[in-house]
Amino acid sequence: MIDIKQLKYFEECARTESFSKAAEALYTTQSSVSKVIKSMEDSLGIRLFERYTRGIRLTREGEHVYQYAKTVLENLEKIESFQEQKETEVLSVSCNPSSWFADMFVKFYQMHQKEDIHYQIYSASCREIVDRVRERMDAMGFVYIMKNQLAAFQYFLGRNYLEFEILKTTDIMLYPGAGHSCRREEGGREVFDGMKLIQRFPDEFSPDNYWDILDQDQKSAADAETVITTNSDYIMERILQVSDLVNISGGYLSGKPWRKYTKDVLLPGNENQVLFGCVKRQNEELSNWAEVFLAFLKERLQDGENK
């Protein structure tokens, strides 16, 4: 049987290509290292190293064993880290790119920075968020989806043993850049024809799929030209500050426009709405801190203020 000590000695020898250097790193003697490696070779029935005057080198068989040994040792480190995680709770959540969410997380951290908790916050597309929550990489994920996509999204989640809790419904808005003089027809109505857009990265279950959105004259957003696609809120804001591009997205969740330098324009219609909500695993309780964080977001959304 191969034991952990043999694997550690073997990995160090392979890394340093020297029994003596491995012995120094392992705080033992060269003869002890040689004996452990010889015992491992005897157990496997293969030669792991070629011995030379000035060092050692993995054999072909040794190269194969080395790849497996590294994986075993890496997994062992993860197992050993569980004790540390037990003592320090980890709150891991993912979200679509969102300035509002970023602001809320900063406020939550400031409120609880003296608590013994570590955070893992991951920005991703809806599809990736679903995968992360399903695979237990995150306790929950926060996404924006079009109202007319809700049924398809819930069906997709159900097949993955997940559920979607709607936290806020917002109207779809046009956010013209500072240099934009919106094309208007008689009566001052916004039209998509000829409009150039900056949008978030494409995602079948996100508000970036705007092709079903209609303006006041029933013209589709597909008539507008998307010239920049990004997942960076910073790039989005900077471009809108200096260009004539327009962004289509949901209204600010707190009710206060976050793009203060531009006038937002409402796109009326019941289907022109975005749902913000939480993806969770079905029939499974959240951890204590996940519950606290979710309750914090619900309170901010209910207040309608960026406190």
The mean pLDDT of 144-153, rounded to a whole number, is: 89
Please tell me the pTM assigned to this model.
Answer: 0.63
- Residue 94 pLDDT: 96
Q: Mean of the pLDDT values across residues 252-270?
A: 54
**Which residue in 51, 112, 59, 44 sits closest to 288, CA to CA?**
112
pLDDT of residue 256 exceeding 60: no
pLDDT at 259 over 70: no
Q: What is the DSSP letter of 275?
A: E
Bridge partners (DSSP) of residue 223 are none
- pLDDT of the residue at 281: 97
Looking at per-residue confidence, does 263 or 261 come out higher?
A: 263
Mean model confidence pLDDT for the chain:
84
| Average pLDDT over every residue of 250-278 | 63
CB atoms within 10 A of CB 285: 9
Q: Classify residue 178 by burial, with Cβ atoms within 10 Å: 0-12, 13-18, 19+.
A: middle
DSSP assignment, residue 216? T
Domains and CATH numbers, the chain: 4-80 (1.10.10.10), 100-303 (3.40.190.290)
What confidence score (pLDDT) does residue 270 get?
56
What are the φ/ψ torsions at residue 263 (nearest 5 degrees)?
-90, 125
Secondary structure (DSSP) of 42-57:
HHHTS--EEEETTEEE
What confidence score (pLDDT) does residue 186 get? 43
Res. 48 pLDDT band, cuts 50 70 90? very high
**What CA–CA distance (Å, rounded) separates 139 from 129?**
10
pLDDT at 167: 96
Alpha helices for the chain (secondary structure H): 4-16, 19-26, 30-44, 60-80, 82-87, 99-112, 126-134, 150-159, 233-242, 288-303
Label the pairing between strands 117-123 and 89-95.
parallel
pLDDT over 90, % of the chain: 51
- Tokens for 54, please give them: 């000035």
d(CA 133, CA 264): 33
Which tokens sit at 42? Answer: 């005897």
- Look at 14-18, 192-196, 202-206 and tell me which has the smallest mean pLDDT: 202-206
Instruction: Give the per-residue pLDDT at 130.
Output: 95
Task: Give the mean model confidence (pLDDT) for residues 172-198.
Answer: 69
For the cut 90, the answer to whether the pLDDT of residue 264 exceeds it is: no
Per-residue pLDDT, averaged over 158-181, amounts to: 87
Residue/partner pairs of 293-298 with CB below 8 Å, 24 or more apart:
293/91, 293/93, 293/108, 294/140, 296/104, 296/108, 296/111, 297/104, 297/142, 297/167, 298/167
Report how far apart, in Å, the C-alpha atoms of 62 and of each of 4, 24, 58, 65, 70 are. 17, 22, 5, 5, 12
For residues 237 and 212, what is the distance between their CA atoms, to the nearest angstrom? 25
- 3-class DSSP assignment, residue 94: strand
Strand pairing partners for 246? Answer: 176, 197
242-258 average pLDDT score: 69
The two tokens of residue 66 are: 């080395």
4-16 vs 30-44: helix axis angle to the nearest 10?
Answer: 110
Average pLDDT of the residues in 30-55: 94
| β partners of residue 248 | 174
First vs last C-alpha separation in the chain: 60
**Could you tell me which residue, 83 or 138, shows the higher pLDDT?**
138
pLDDT at 208: 60
User: Once rounded to an integer, what is the mean pLDDT over residues 262-274?
Assistant: 64
Lowest mean pLDDT among 6-10, 116-120, 174-178: 174-178
